[in-house]
Protein backbone atom coordinates (compact mmCIF):
# COMPACT_ATOMS: atom_id res chain seq x y z
CA UNK A 1 0.00 0.00 0.00
CA UNK A 2 2.82 2.39 0.87
CA UNK A 3 4.61 1.47 -2.34
CA UNK A 4 1.46 2.21 -4.35
CA UNK A 5 1.10 5.64 -2.72
CA UNK A 6 4.76 6.38 -3.40
CA UNK A 7 4.39 5.44 -7.09
CA UNK A 8 1.24 7.55 -7.37
CA UNK A 9 2.95 10.59 -5.84
CA UNK A 10 5.93 10.18 -8.18
CA UNK A 11 3.67 9.88 -11.22
CA UNK A 12 1.63 12.97 -10.29
CA UNK A 13 4.65 15.18 -9.55
CA UNK A 14 6.43 14.07 -12.71
CA UNK A 15 3.34 14.60 -14.85
CA UNK A 16 2.64 18.01 -13.32
CA UNK A 17 6.13 19.20 -14.19
CA UNK A 18 5.69 18.21 -17.83
CA UNK A 19 2.25 19.75 -18.15
CA UNK A 20 3.22 23.27 -17.17
CA UNK A 21 2.44 26.12 -19.54
CA UNK A 22 5.43 27.91 -21.00
CA UNK A 23 5.11 31.68 -21.37
CA UNK A 24 4.80 32.97 -24.93
CA UNK A 25 7.90 34.78 -26.17
CA UNK A 26 7.82 38.47 -26.99
CA UNK A 27 6.78 39.31 -30.56
CA UNK A 28 9.65 39.65 -33.02
CA UNK A 29 8.89 43.12 -34.47
CA UNK A 30 10.98 45.92 -35.94
CA UNK A 31 9.27 49.28 -36.46
CA UNK A 32 11.47 51.99 -37.97
CA UNK A 33 11.73 54.83 -40.48
CA UNK A 34 14.17 54.44 -43.36
CA UNK A 35 15.56 57.24 -45.56
CA UNK A 36 14.63 55.64 -48.89
CA UNK A 37 11.63 55.55 -51.26
CA UNK A 38 8.93 52.95 -50.50
CA UNK A 39 9.32 51.20 -53.88
CA UNK A 40 13.05 50.65 -53.33
CA UNK A 41 12.43 49.25 -49.85
CA UNK A 42 9.66 46.97 -51.07
CA UNK A 43 11.64 45.51 -53.97
CA UNK A 44 14.77 45.01 -51.82
CA UNK A 45 12.71 43.37 -49.05
CA UNK A 46 11.07 40.97 -51.52
CA UNK A 47 14.50 39.99 -52.89
CA UNK A 48 15.84 39.40 -49.37
CA UNK A 49 12.84 37.28 -48.34
CA UNK A 50 13.03 35.18 -51.52
CA UNK A 51 16.76 34.59 -50.99
CA UNK A 52 15.88 33.36 -47.46
CA UNK A 53 13.53 30.69 -48.93
CA UNK A 54 10.30 32.54 -48.17
CA UNK A 55 7.57 32.39 -50.79
CA UNK A 56 5.78 35.71 -51.30
CA UNK A 57 2.04 35.10 -50.95
CA UNK A 58 0.55 38.58 -51.05
CA UNK A 59 2.06 41.75 -52.40
CA UNK A 60 -0.08 44.87 -52.30
CA UNK A 61 0.98 48.50 -52.48
CA UNK A 62 1.84 48.68 -48.78
CA UNK A 63 1.96 45.07 -47.50
CA UNK A 64 4.20 42.07 -48.15
CA UNK A 65 3.15 38.71 -46.69
CA UNK A 66 5.01 35.42 -46.99
CA UNK A 67 4.08 31.80 -46.54
CA UNK A 68 6.02 29.59 -44.17
CA UNK A 69 9.71 29.34 -44.84
CA UNK A 70 10.93 26.14 -46.45
CA UNK A 71 13.29 24.76 -43.80
CA UNK A 72 14.55 21.60 -45.48
CA UNK A 73 14.54 20.24 -48.98
CA UNK A 74 14.01 16.79 -50.39
CA UNK A 75 11.27 14.26 -50.95
CA UNK A 76 10.72 13.58 -47.23
CA UNK A 77 10.38 17.23 -46.19
CA UNK A 78 6.64 16.87 -45.50
CA UNK A 79 7.25 13.96 -43.11
CA UNK A 80 10.03 15.76 -41.25
CA UNK A 81 8.01 18.95 -40.81
CA UNK A 82 4.68 17.30 -40.02
CA UNK A 83 5.79 14.52 -37.67
CA UNK A 84 9.04 15.55 -36.06
CA UNK A 85 8.94 19.28 -36.54
CA UNK A 86 11.56 21.87 -36.73
CA UNK A 87 11.10 25.60 -36.90
CA UNK A 88 8.76 27.29 -39.31
CA UNK A 89 8.22 30.99 -39.70
CA UNK A 90 6.44 33.55 -41.83
CA UNK A 91 6.90 37.29 -42.29
CA UNK A 92 4.54 40.24 -42.58
CA UNK A 93 5.81 43.68 -43.57
CA UNK A 94 3.90 46.96 -43.75
CA UNK A 95 5.54 49.66 -45.86
CA UNK A 96 4.16 53.20 -45.59
CA UNK A 97 5.57 56.09 -47.63
CA UNK A 98 5.88 59.17 -45.42
CA UNK A 99 7.58 61.58 -47.82
CA UNK A 100 9.49 61.42 -51.10
CA UNK A 101 12.56 59.81 -49.51
CA UNK A 102 11.23 58.58 -46.16
CA UNK A 103 9.41 55.32 -45.49
CA UNK A 104 8.00 53.69 -42.37
CA UNK A 105 8.59 49.92 -42.15
CA UNK A 106 6.98 47.52 -39.68
CA UNK A 107 8.40 44.03 -40.10
CA UNK A 108 7.20 41.11 -37.97
CA UNK A 109 8.40 37.51 -37.98
CA UNK A 110 6.02 34.81 -36.70
CA UNK A 111 8.16 31.77 -35.69
CA UNK A 112 6.62 28.48 -34.56
CA UNK A 113 8.31 25.29 -33.43
CA UNK A 114 7.71 21.85 -32.02
CA UNK A 115 10.00 19.31 -30.43
CA UNK A 116 8.59 15.92 -31.26
CA UNK A 117 5.96 13.74 -32.82
CA UNK A 118 3.30 14.26 -30.16
CA UNK A 119 3.85 17.99 -29.65
CA UNK A 120 1.84 20.67 -31.40
CA UNK A 121 3.26 23.78 -33.06
CA UNK A 122 3.74 26.62 -30.55
CA UNK A 123 5.05 30.16 -30.70
CA UNK A 124 8.81 30.35 -30.34
CA UNK A 125 11.66 32.83 -30.29
CA UNK A 126 13.19 33.63 -33.66
CA UNK A 127 16.65 32.23 -34.28
CA UNK A 128 19.11 35.00 -35.10
CA UNK A 129 19.30 34.43 -38.89
CA UNK A 130 15.48 34.60 -39.18
CA UNK A 131 14.89 37.44 -36.71
CA UNK A 132 13.28 40.72 -37.70
CA UNK A 133 16.42 42.60 -36.64
CA UNK A 134 18.54 40.51 -38.99
CA UNK A 135 16.08 41.00 -41.87
CA UNK A 136 16.23 44.78 -41.32
CA UNK A 137 20.05 44.63 -41.18
CA UNK A 138 20.10 42.81 -44.52
CA UNK A 139 17.65 45.34 -45.96
CA UNK A 140 19.83 48.26 -44.86
CA UNK A 141 22.90 46.57 -46.37
CA UNK A 142 21.05 46.03 -49.63
CA UNK A 143 19.94 49.67 -49.78
CA UNK A 144 23.36 50.86 -48.54
CA UNK A 145 21.86 52.69 -45.56
CA UNK A 146 24.14 53.16 -42.57
**Cβ neighbour number for residue 35 with a 10 Å cutoff:** 11
Contact 91, 135 (CB under 8 A): yes
Taking Cα atoms as reference points, which of 45, 24, 41, 35 lies closest to residue 112? Answer: 24
pTM score of the predicted model = 0.74
Identify any residues that bridge with 64 across adjacent strands, giving them in sequence order.
59, 93
**15-66 pLDDT per residue, tens:** 544 555 566 777 889 999 999 999 999 999 999 999 988 899 888 888 999 9
The whole-number average pLDDT for the span 104-127 is 85
For all residues of the chain together, what is the average pLDDT?
A: 82
**pLDDT at 128 (0 to 100):** 84
Q: What is the pLDDT of residues 129-139, one digit of tens each?
A: 889 999 999 99
Mean pLDDT of 107-125: 84
Phi, psi of 69 (to 5 degrees): -70, 140
Q: Which fold has domain 38-143?
A: TATA-Binding Protein (3.30.310)
Separation between Cα atoms, residue 21 and residue 58, nearest integer Å: 34
Q: Residue 95 pLDDT more than 60?
A: yes
pLDDT above 90: residue 127:
no
Amino acid sequence: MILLRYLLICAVTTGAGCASVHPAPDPDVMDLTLPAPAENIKSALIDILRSSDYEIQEETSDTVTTGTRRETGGPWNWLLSWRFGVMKSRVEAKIIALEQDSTRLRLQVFPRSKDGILDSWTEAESPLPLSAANQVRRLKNSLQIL
